[in-house]
Copies of this chain bind each other. A is one copy, B any other.
Amino acid sequence: MKTIASRQNALFKRVRAALREHDREIALEGRKQVADALAAGWKPVLTIGRGDSQEDVSFAPELFDQLSDTRSPQDVIALFERPRSSFADLLKRTDSIVVALDGVQDPGNVGTIVRLAAAFDCAGVALLPGCADPFSPKSIRASAGAALAVPIANATADEVLASGWPLFATAADGAPVEVPSRGAILVFGSEGAGVSERLRTSAKVVRIPISRRVESLNVAASAAILLSKSYESR
């Protein structure tokens, strides 16, 4: 099979766009991530190998390595159509909870919370404005591929409020209330600013008990604790 070696090649540019812009197509890097996606029933548009390979297309090593976002060398990249869910889709499942992220800018935190939402079988993840893209290579890596295992949708604060679902948000001045097992939206905010005022005033504010030795928990740690509790009570 022909090995592509030119930066001007249309396919090379397409894969690069999937990695940089992840707008119409997204890319998973590495054997493990690609295998997990296939096992979950996802069908790649195309797989690309490094050098002479058994994949659909081979890129010369120098060309392939220009694409990789990680320091550890990968040998396969798979292109997928970017999954599309709407916020209304997430609300169709009433036997679980929806996670909403409000201004969570760090792709590592977004990916970690997506993985937690899949682990604790949430109905989906709603991204309010100001969040990192869950389909960037960094987010996908932090999600360990779970970005394909849980529905993800963009949403506005208006849509979240209009859903009529009870809202729960975490903050240091909240009460140690139990989070429900289903039919609720759990909102997590950025580490600096927290959940935006507008959503907060409509939400039950939950406090996770911590010692005075630290000011706060990382947002992904808060999510782990609350989503796990909600799952256990389901």
Q: Quick check: is A112 within 8 A (CB to CB) of the other chain?
A: yes
Chain B's closest residue to A222 (CB) is B224
A139 to chain B: closest CB distance in Å? 14
Q: How far is the CB of A150 from chain B (nearest CB, A)?
A: 7
Question: From residue 188 to 227 of chain A, which have CB atoms closer than 8 A to chain B?
Answer: 208-211, 213-215, 217-218, 220-222, 224-225
Taking CB atoms, residues of chain B closer than 8 Å to A102 are none
Contact A118 B211 (CB under 8 A): yes
Contact of A213 (CB < 8 Å), options: B149, B220, B232: B149
Complex interface: chain B residues within 8 A of A61 (CB): none
- The residue from B115, B209, B213 contacting A146, defined by CB atoms under 8 A apart: B213
Beta-carbon contact of B119 and A217 below 8 Å: yes
Task: Check B112–A144 contact: CB distance below 8 A.
Answer: no
Is B146 in contact with A221, judged by CB distance below 8 angstroms?
no
Closest chain-B Cβ to A82's Cβ sits at a distance in Å of 19
Partner of A221, one of B116, B121, B149: B116
The 4 closest A-B pairs by CB, nearest first: A121-B211, A221-B224, A224-B224, A119-B210
Alpha-carbon separation in the docked complex, A115 to B217 (Å)? 8
Inter-subunit contact A116/B232 (CB<8 Å): no
Give the distance in Å from the alpha carbon of A231 to the alpha carbon of B176 in the complex: 13
A228 interface contact, C-beta 8 A: yes
Other 5 A-B pairs with CB < 8 A, given A115-B214, A221-B221: A108-B108, A112-B218, A120-B210, A150-B213, A209-B228
Contact with B along A104-119 (1 / 0, CB 8 A): 0000100010011011
Residues of B within 8 A of A213 (CB): 40, 118-119, 121, 146, 149-150
Given contacts A220-B220, A220-B221, A225-B224, whether A231 and B211 have CB atoms under 8 Å apart is yes
Contacts of A144 in B (CB 8 A): 214-215, 218
Contact with B along A86-110 (1 / 0, CB 8 A): 0000000000000000000000100
